[in-house]
Amino acid sequence: MKMVEDLKRKPLFILAVILLLSSAQAGNTNRTSWHQCADFQTANFLHGSKLNVQFLLFTSSNPSCGELILADDGIEDTSFNSSLETKIIIHGFRALGTKPSWIEGLVRAILHTSHVNVIAVDWVHGSTGAYHSAVDNVTQLALSISHFISKLLALGVSGTSIHIIGVSLGAHVAGLVGHFHGGQLGRITGLDPAGPKYTRASLEERLDPGDALFVEAIHTDADNFGIRIPVGHIDYFVNGGKDQPGCPRFISAGLLEQAGVSMRRLPKEVIVYLMTSPSAPFCVHHSLVEFRLQKKRNVVTSIEITFYSNSTKDTAKITIPQQEEVGKRLLAHKVPLCEINIVMLKYLPNNRFWRKDESHIVGKFCAAPLPLNKNRTMFCLPWNITLYGNMDLSYQLSAACA
């Protein structure tokens, strides 16, 4: 049995890097201390074990060497710098009792862009074996992490400078830690918060917007082991929150700082949908495409839209409900809209043996790069066009660059 943390670590890692590149950089220098490198433990997945929680510190001066720090005493004698922001990473369920393979890459990505303390929480012993056993350990783990954070606060660390990053089951651990601190910690990021045992859980048991001053979640596996409901101030459902392009299917096989949200007036709940490409660099441009019929129809109208540039081809399908005039769709493409040379439109009639659809439709096509603002408005072909059934028609697209 493998959870999403193992199966889909590639999109999780990529999304985490994109998200964390926005973190503000601090200018303090950290003192160097010589210490023996510590690593994650390995557990026996057949029997499980006690929690045996470890806290491993990584710094910009030694990003690949973990420094074991104890929650009870001696933090001030480590390389921890209380004047810097602190990122705390909490992994999730580890069915086989192994170290999360993505930890090192995530730590390096954070320290490459930010001068911060990075603390990786190792609870491999408590997360192995059966999933329900790992869930049973969540409260005790959250208490251990909360106690550790209290020690940091006693050293003068600002609660608002603490950012907890929880993966899968670790996202709900992060929520519980934040709950224990009255929702006053700075930020929680949930990467694919776990769904089993949590979809119908109370707010006190799972990640929710009240757990920190700013709570966000990125959903990339909501059709399997990820949670399907919003759990933060902002929830990003990447590619619909389900199977990600370029990644195996389990069943069948820079954002701005604080995500651009004002910390003074947080929305109660925002759901964001975006798409990615199946290969590096994964980021894509998003355009709103629209087709407006000249007259309403008694049947559903489907139109295929393809953007062509000198080197790319991207396709989406617009569906216009019956007795409506306008159909809209988000189309993801690899180059900016102003570099799209040709748009190809195809009317897809719904012909059935007992009823023939109309042979052609008439309407107007428009597109706009997102987000829309005073410099980005809808660009429309200047005439009505006639589309014949299953016939490709190409038009030059000359949208201006902003």
pLDDT level of residue 88 (50, 70, 90 thresholds) = very high
Cis peptide before 281 (omega within 30 of 0): yes
* CA atoms of 274 and 383, how far apart (whole Å): 31
- What is the enclosing helix (H) or strand (E) of 4? helix 4-7
The SS3 assignment for 394 reads: strand
Task: Name the nearest CA neighbour of 93 among 132, 54, 56.
Answer: 132
Q: Per residue in 359-386, pLDDT tens?
A: 999 999 999 888 776 666 778 888 899 9
* CA atoms of 44 and 144, how far apart (whole Å): 22
Mean pLDDT of 47-63: 86
The whole-number pLDDT of residue 272 equals 75
Of residues 27 and 292, which shows the higher confidence score? 292
Beta strands in 244-384 (DSSP E): 270-274, 285-293, 301-308, 313-320, 326-333, 342-347, 360-369, 379-380
Question: From the CB of residue 398, how many other CB atoms can be counted at a distance below 10 Å?
Answer: 10
* CA atoms of 196 and 227, how far apart (whole Å): 7
Angle, CA 169 vertex, CA 97 and CA 207 arms, to 5°: 160
Domains of the chain: 4-274 (3.40.50.1820), 285-396 (2.60.60.20)
* CA atoms of 304 and 291, how far apart (whole Å): 10
399, HSE (Cβ side, Cα atoms, 13 Å): 28
* CA atoms of 247 and 333, how far apart (whole Å): 19
Averaged confidence pLDDT in the chain = 84
* CA atoms of 359 and 49, how far apart (whole Å): 68
The whole-number pLDDT of residue 336 equals 87
Task: Name the nearest CA neighbour of 71 among 63, 62, 80, 60.
Answer: 80
* CA atoms of 225 and 293, how far apart (whole Å): 41
Distance of CA 285 to CAs 201, 211, 246, 342, Å? 36, 33, 17, 16
Q: Per residue in 141-160, pLDDT tens?
A: 999 999 999 999 999 999 99
Q: Is residue 379 within 8 Å of 395, Cβ to Cβ?
A: no
Give the strand pairing for 301-308 and 313-320: antiparallel
The SS3 assignment for 189 reads: strand
The whole-number pLDDT of residue 212 equals 95
* CA atoms of 222 and 226, how far apart (whole Å): 4
Mean pLDDT of 159-183: 96
* Residue in the structure block whose two tokens are 């990600």: 244
Q: Is residue 247 within 8 Å of 11, Cβ to Cβ?
A: yes
Highest-confidence segment of 1-5, 211-215, 278-282 = 211-215
Range list of H helices, 91-246: 103-113, 124-127, 131-136, 138-154, 169-180
Q: Per residue in 262-288, pLDDT tens?
A: 555 666 677 777 788 777 778 888 888
The whole-number pLDDT of residue 7 equals 39
Q: Is residue 162 within 8 Å of 186, Cβ to Cβ?
A: yes
